[in-house]
A and B are shown apart, each in its own frame.
Chain A
């Protein structure tokens, strides 16, 4: 079971990509597909939803370890984090290719003028150092600083929710859903570290 954990997670995480590739193939071959009348926009939204879903999943693993008293959740944490980066990059790339058609002027204008775009882009930029330092060698090299650096993911979570919130026109369902999930996952960390601190203090006194 334990040996299958990583390959199984890897294959499952690829399923959204497989599905969208299949839809694109259907679309390009002129058959019925599920991408609608504006397939470019549908693809951008699809990757965005999966990026934020992987963000929620990744952040859920540490509390899950505490809850289950098992270590397997954190063994796939790095992989899921990298998939978050993968889908966030596809989200950004498909936005640039399908919606802005790689027009540099357009991209620059959008980044400067549209706050939800700048917030989303900032979130992706913050993911870059995390993805680059995800190798075993980097973990060893950075030592304690690796953990502090990777706390940036909490900032990314806030930016991602802001990005979704700013995009909404009238229905805040998605924004609320992701906002609540991430609030819950972040506050569980605050609680557990506060509890840890209290425990330390009480041990020091007695």
Chain B
């Protein structure tokens, strides 16, 4: 059913950056960029401004402080970001329910502070670290990435976070560390779908990357979006973003990172190996058995124009990642 009750925590549409403001800001930023060019060429790199929302979201003090000095990234796409209200109301976060609106509805009371992450496996430094310790040495940057869901819809999200490789190198992975395995929180008290008898998913949710994929410059750990701390429904407080793979690889609410010798058993692959592979690279030529992957609906879609666009190989990030898969049959290793 589609009947939603509005609750006091809902963001009013008036609080969302209007399109006019967005474009005005862009004009301003462009103007600043031009004057910057006149001053010094080194300033030209900072011509973009971090996308921000007025939504009332706040994290712990130390995180707010870090968020206030977020830089922009050269890896950002110049495409217009999907509006904040869409990014935060249309989610696949099955722990909070399988409907697209369920995560927003059911994650309001989700506790993400304090938070700690266990680091284990084939590395010199292992142990359990608080989120603050995990993030301490890393400066935050904004990366505007395309997000392509395996269900054939897509968004453009201004994430805030830091490169995954910068964190992983701190633990000094050994030569036996060939894969990285990630795990989402398992807490049936807070996550209703983990209690469901009708779910075939064996929780906790697990995802993984090959170590060279994890060390790629595009692999990103996000702790916020639109200038603010990560909303619960988007995977607070810390989540993976792997923009050249289908969205389900970008695991949310991470509590464990493990360096492994063998390819980890990941959730969707274990559930339906014919439909979801370990690699799950965005590929318009390899269809999901139940639907085509050749095109995608860029959200928000309107009624009589589905905003359908062609899906790009590696979600348009081929120049950064195609070399990782040289010589591999991508129809077999989907």
Contact = CB atoms under 8 A, between A and B. Distances in A.
Given A99-B306, A116-B290, A170-B271, A36 B199 contact: no
B199 A40 contact: no
A171 B193 contact: yes
Contacts of A172: 198-200
B13 A37 contact: no
A173 B4 contact: no
Interface stretch (A24-32, A84-92, A194-202): A24-32
A40 B306 contact: yes
A170 B90 contact: no
Interface residues of B, number: 33
A70 interface: no
A38 B98 contact: no
B30 interface: no
A114 interface: yes
A17 interface: no
Contact of B303 (A37, A98, A166, A173): A98
Judged by DSSP, the binding face of B is: loop
B290 A114 contact: yes
Interface string B222-248: 000000000000000000000000000
Contacts of B201: 170
B301 A39 contact: yes
Given A49-B1, A171-B193, A38 B300 contact: yes
A92 B101 CA distance: 24
Nearest to A43: B303
Contacts of B2: 23, 34-36, 42, 45-46
Interface in A129-178: 166, 169-173, 176
B303 to A, nearest CB: 5
A101 B308 contact: yes
A6 B300 CA distance: 41
B291 interface: yes
B1 A36 contact: no
Interface residues of A, number: 33
A99 B1 CA distance: 19
A40 B290 CA distance: 19
A33 to B, nearest CB: 10
A186 to B, nearest CB: 21
B89 A37 contact: yes
Contacts of A43: 303
A171 B200 contact: yes
A98 B304 CA distance: 6
Contact of B306 (A101, A115, A169, A173): A101
B317 interface: no
B154 to A, nearest CB: 11
Contacts of B94: 170-171
A171 B199 contact: yes
Given A28-B303, A49-B1, A169 B98 contact: yes
A133 to B, nearest CB: 32
Contact of A24 (B101, B271, B303, B306): B303
Nearest to A45: B2
B90 A37 contact: yes
Interface in B265-280: 271-272
> Which of B13, B101, B196, B303: most chain A CB closer than 10 A?
B303
B271 A114 contact: no
B149 to A, nearest CB: 11
B153 interface: yes
Nearest to B98: A171
B48 to A, nearest CB: 25
B300 A37 contact: yes
A34 B3 contact: yes
Contact of A36 (B100, B291, B297, B306): B100
B297 A38 contact: yes
A16 to B, nearest CB: 10
Interface string A99-140: 101000000010000111000000000000000000000000
A116 B288 CA distance: 14
Nearest to A39: B303
10 contacts: A27-B303, A34-B4, A36-B2, A37-B86, A37-B89, A38-B301, A166-B290, A171-B94, A171-B200, A176-B198
> When A and B form their complex, which 4 residue pairs have the shortest distance between CB atoms, in order from nearest?
A173-B198, A37-B90, A37-B300, A37-B86
Interface of B: 1-4, 13, 86, 89-90, 94, 98, 100-101, 153, 193, 196, 198-201, 271-272, 290-292, 297, 299-304, 306, 308
Given A37-B89, A171-B200, A173-B198, 7 more contacts: A36-B100, A37-B300, A42-B2, A98-B303, A115-B290, A170-B199, A171-B199
